[in-house]
Amino acid sequence: MPQSNNANQREKIRIQTRHKRNHLDENFQHQAAEQLVQQASKLSEVIQANSIAIYLANDGELDTKPLINWCWQQGKHVLLPVLHPFTKGHLIFLQYKPDTLMHNNKYSIAEPKLDVTQVVPFKNVELIFTPLVAFDDKGQRLGMGGGFYDRTLAQATNTKKPYTIGLAHDCQQVDNVPIEPWDIPIPKIITPTRIIKAE
Protein backbone atom coordinates (compact mmCIF):
# COMPACT_ATOMS: atom_id res chain seq x y z
CA MET A 1 0.00 0.00 0.00
CA PRO A 2 1.48 3.40 -0.90
CA GLN A 3 2.23 5.73 2.03
CA SER A 4 -0.15 8.62 2.51
CA ASN A 5 0.99 12.11 1.66
CA ASN A 6 0.98 12.94 5.37
CA ALA A 7 3.34 10.09 6.19
CA ASN A 8 5.65 11.15 3.36
CA GLN A 9 5.67 14.73 4.63
CA ARG A 10 6.44 13.57 8.16
CA GLU A 11 9.31 11.41 6.94
CA LYS A 12 10.73 14.27 4.89
CA ILE A 13 10.63 16.62 7.89
CA ARG A 14 12.30 13.95 10.07
CA ILE A 15 15.16 13.54 7.62
CA GLN A 16 15.68 17.30 7.15
CA THR A 17 15.59 18.30 10.82
CA ARG A 18 17.67 15.33 11.99
CA HIS A 19 20.25 16.30 9.37
CA LYS A 20 20.28 19.91 10.60
CA ARG A 21 20.74 19.07 14.28
CA ASN A 22 23.41 16.46 13.53
CA HIS A 23 25.48 19.16 11.82
CA LEU A 24 25.56 21.65 14.71
CA ASP A 25 29.16 21.98 15.87
CA GLU A 26 30.42 20.99 19.30
CA ASN A 27 30.84 24.57 20.47
CA PHE A 28 27.30 25.45 19.44
CA GLN A 29 25.94 22.35 21.20
CA HIS A 30 27.87 23.23 24.35
CA GLN A 31 26.52 26.79 24.44
CA ALA A 32 22.99 25.62 23.63
CA ALA A 33 23.07 23.22 26.59
CA GLU A 34 24.08 26.05 28.95
CA GLN A 35 21.41 28.36 27.52
CA LEU A 36 18.82 25.64 28.09
CA VAL A 37 19.52 25.77 31.84
CA GLN A 38 19.05 29.56 31.85
CA GLN A 39 15.70 29.20 30.09
CA ALA A 40 14.38 26.20 32.01
CA SER A 41 15.39 27.40 35.47
CA LYS A 42 13.17 30.48 35.26
CA LEU A 43 9.93 28.59 34.55
CA SER A 44 7.58 28.08 37.49
CA GLU A 45 6.59 24.59 36.22
CA VAL A 46 10.25 23.59 36.48
CA ILE A 47 10.96 25.32 39.79
CA GLN A 48 7.91 23.66 41.39
CA ALA A 49 8.47 20.10 40.11
CA ASN A 50 10.30 17.60 42.29
CA SER A 51 10.21 14.58 39.93
CA ILE A 52 11.36 15.49 36.47
CA ALA A 53 11.76 13.09 33.54
CA ILE A 54 14.54 14.21 31.20
CA TYR A 55 16.47 12.31 28.48
CA LEU A 56 20.11 11.79 27.53
CA ALA A 57 20.86 13.41 24.19
CA ASN A 58 21.27 11.31 21.07
CA ASP A 59 21.34 12.09 17.34
CA GLY A 60 22.27 15.79 17.73
CA GLU A 61 19.50 16.51 20.27
CA LEU A 62 19.79 19.43 22.66
CA ASP A 63 22.23 18.23 25.34
CA THR A 64 20.57 17.95 28.73
CA LYS A 65 23.59 17.21 30.93
CA PRO A 66 23.88 20.74 32.41
CA LEU A 67 20.10 20.75 33.01
CA ILE A 68 20.32 17.39 34.79
CA ASN A 69 23.18 18.70 36.97
CA TRP A 70 21.14 21.80 37.82
CA CYS A 71 18.16 19.61 38.81
CA TRP A 72 20.40 17.49 41.05
CA GLN A 73 21.83 20.64 42.66
CA GLN A 74 18.26 21.75 43.39
CA GLY A 75 17.57 18.42 45.11
CA LYS A 76 15.10 17.29 42.44
CA HIS A 77 14.54 13.67 41.42
CA VAL A 78 15.70 13.16 37.84
CA LEU A 79 14.13 10.29 35.89
CA LEU A 80 15.11 8.84 32.53
CA PRO A 81 13.01 6.96 29.98
CA VAL A 82 13.74 3.23 29.69
CA LEU A 83 12.34 1.06 26.91
CA HIS A 84 9.68 -1.18 28.43
CA PRO A 85 11.18 -4.67 28.83
CA PHE A 86 8.07 -6.47 27.51
CA THR A 87 5.66 -4.03 25.90
CA LYS A 88 7.02 -2.78 22.59
CA GLY A 89 6.68 0.94 21.97
CA HIS A 90 6.21 1.84 25.65
CA LEU A 91 8.47 3.64 28.10
CA ILE A 92 8.92 3.39 31.84
CA PHE A 93 10.73 5.98 33.96
CA LEU A 94 13.57 5.16 36.33
CA GLN A 95 15.40 7.30 38.87
CA TYR A 96 18.71 8.65 37.61
CA LYS A 97 21.41 9.55 40.14
CA PRO A 98 25.14 10.20 39.64
CA ASP A 99 25.90 6.58 40.62
CA THR A 100 23.11 4.85 38.64
CA LEU A 101 24.28 1.78 36.71
CA MET A 102 23.71 2.37 33.01
CA HIS A 103 23.68 0.34 29.81
CA ASN A 104 22.94 1.07 26.16
CA ASN A 105 19.48 0.24 24.82
CA LYS A 106 18.81 -1.12 21.32
CA TYR A 107 19.10 2.41 19.90
CA SER A 108 22.51 2.84 21.60
CA ILE A 109 21.07 5.39 24.02
CA ALA A 110 22.31 5.05 27.61
CA GLU A 111 19.55 4.19 30.08
CA PRO A 112 19.46 3.03 33.72
CA LYS A 113 19.73 -0.74 34.09
CA LEU A 114 16.39 -2.23 34.99
CA ASP A 115 15.95 -2.20 38.77
CA VAL A 116 12.37 -2.42 40.00
CA THR A 117 13.18 -0.40 43.11
CA GLN A 118 14.05 2.55 40.88
CA VAL A 119 10.91 2.57 38.73
CA VAL A 120 8.73 5.64 39.25
CA PRO A 121 5.02 5.15 38.48
CA PHE A 122 3.88 7.49 35.75
CA LYS A 123 1.36 9.17 38.07
CA ASN A 124 4.25 10.33 40.25
CA VAL A 125 6.09 12.08 37.41
CA GLU A 126 5.42 15.81 37.78
CA LEU A 127 7.13 17.14 34.68
CA ILE A 128 8.35 15.52 31.46
CA PHE A 129 10.94 17.11 29.21
CA THR A 130 10.45 15.33 25.90
CA PRO A 131 12.96 14.99 23.11
CA LEU A 132 11.55 15.69 19.66
CA VAL A 133 12.69 15.86 16.06
CA ALA A 134 10.50 18.73 14.84
CA PHE A 135 7.92 21.07 16.37
CA ASP A 136 5.68 23.95 15.37
CA ASP A 137 4.31 26.99 17.22
CA LYS A 138 1.04 25.14 17.93
CA GLY A 139 2.89 22.64 20.11
CA GLN A 140 2.69 19.75 17.67
CA ARG A 141 5.73 17.48 17.89
CA LEU A 142 7.24 14.83 15.69
CA GLY A 143 9.57 12.28 17.28
CA MET A 144 11.95 9.59 16.06
CA GLY A 145 9.04 7.50 14.80
CA GLY A 146 8.61 4.98 17.59
CA GLY A 147 5.48 6.53 19.10
CA PHE A 148 7.08 6.18 22.56
CA TYR A 149 6.21 9.63 23.84
CA ASP A 150 2.80 9.68 22.14
CA ARG A 151 1.91 6.50 24.03
CA THR A 152 3.36 7.90 27.25
CA LEU A 153 1.47 11.19 27.00
CA ALA A 154 -1.74 9.35 26.11
CA GLN A 155 -1.64 7.80 29.62
CA ALA A 156 -2.06 11.22 31.24
CA THR A 157 -5.39 11.38 32.98
CA ASN A 158 -7.35 14.50 33.82
CA THR A 159 -6.80 14.01 37.53
CA LYS A 160 -3.02 13.92 37.62
CA LYS A 161 -1.19 14.92 34.53
CA PRO A 162 2.50 15.55 34.24
CA TYR A 163 3.20 18.91 32.65
CA THR A 164 5.10 18.46 29.38
CA ILE A 165 7.82 20.63 27.91
CA GLY A 166 9.57 19.81 24.64
CA LEU A 167 13.28 20.56 24.27
CA ALA A 168 14.76 21.37 20.89
CA HIS A 169 17.23 23.45 18.94
CA ASP A 170 15.74 26.47 17.13
CA CYS A 171 16.57 24.80 13.79
CA GLN A 172 14.05 22.04 14.57
CA GLN A 173 11.07 24.39 14.24
CA VAL A 174 8.92 23.93 11.13
CA ASP A 175 5.84 25.87 9.93
CA ASN A 176 3.42 22.98 10.37
CA VAL A 177 3.93 19.45 11.63
CA PRO A 178 1.49 17.33 9.57
CA ILE A 179 -0.49 15.73 12.37
CA GLU A 180 -1.91 12.26 12.87
CA PRO A 181 -4.86 11.36 15.16
CA TRP A 182 -2.62 9.90 17.89
CA ASP A 183 -0.34 12.96 18.15
CA ILE A 184 -0.57 14.78 21.47
CA PRO A 185 0.37 18.47 21.36
CA ILE A 186 2.49 19.90 24.16
CA PRO A 187 1.91 23.23 25.92
CA LYS A 188 5.48 24.52 25.87
CA ILE A 189 8.75 24.11 24.00
CA ILE A 190 12.09 25.43 25.18
CA THR A 191 14.89 26.21 22.74
CA PRO A 192 18.22 27.79 23.70
CA THR A 193 16.85 31.22 22.75
CA ARG A 194 13.08 31.02 23.25
CA ILE A 195 10.18 29.67 25.24
CA ILE A 196 7.35 28.84 22.85
CA LYS A 197 3.96 28.76 24.53
CA ALA A 198 1.28 26.79 22.74
CA GLU A 199 -1.28 26.67 25.58
Ligand X SMILES: Nc1nc2c(c(=O)[nH]1)N(C=O)[C@@H](CNc1ccc(C(=O)N[C@@H](CCC(=O)O)C(=O)O)cc1)CN2
Write the binding mask 68 to 97 for ligand X: x where contact by CB under 6 A, - elsewhere. -------------x---------x------
Q: How many residues line the site for ligand X (CB under 6 A)?
A: 16
| Residue 180 interacting partner from ligand X, ligand ATP, none (CB closer than 5 to 8 Å by kind) | ligand ATP
Sites for ligand X among residues 100-139 (CB under 6 A)? 107, 109, 131
Q: For ligand ATP, which is the closer residue by CB, 118 or 152?
A: 152
Q: For ligand X, which is the closer residue by CB, 61 or 183?
A: 61
Query: Contacting ligand X (CB under 6 A), which of 93, 129, 149, 163?
Result: 149
CA distances in angstroms from 194 to 21, 39, 140, 170, 189, listed in the order given: 17, 8, 16, 8, 8
**Angle subtended at Cα 29 by Cα 93 and Cα 141, rounded to the nearest 5 degrees:** 50
Residue 147 CB, nearest distance to ligand ATP (Å)?
Answer: 2
3-state secondary structure the chain: CCCCHHHHHHHHHHHHHHHHHHCCCHHHHHHHHHHHHHHHCCCHHHHHCCEEECCCCCCCCCCCHHHHHHHHHCCCEEEEEEECCCCCCCEEEEEECCCCCEEECCCCCEEECCCHHHEECHHHCCEEEECCCEECCCCCEECCCCCHHHHHHHCCCCCCCCEEEEECCHHHECCCCCCCCCCCCCCEEECCCCEEECC
Residue 108 CB, nearest distance to ligand X (Å)?
Answer: 8
Residue nearest to ligand ATP (CB): 143
Residue 131 CB, nearest distance to ligand X (Å)?
Answer: 4
Give the footprint of ligand ATP on this chain (CB under 6 A): 142-151, 154, 180, 182-183
Residue 64 CB, nearest distance to ligand ATP (Å)?
Answer: 15
Q: For ligand X, which is the closer residue by CB, 42 or 82?
A: 82
Q: Does 166 carry a binding-site annotation?
A: no
**Residue 51: strand pairing partners:** 77
Q: Is 178 in the site for ligand X (CB under 6 A)?
A: no
Where along the sequence are the contacts to ligand X (CB under 6 A)?
55-58, 61, 81, 91, 107, 109, 131, 143-146, 148-149
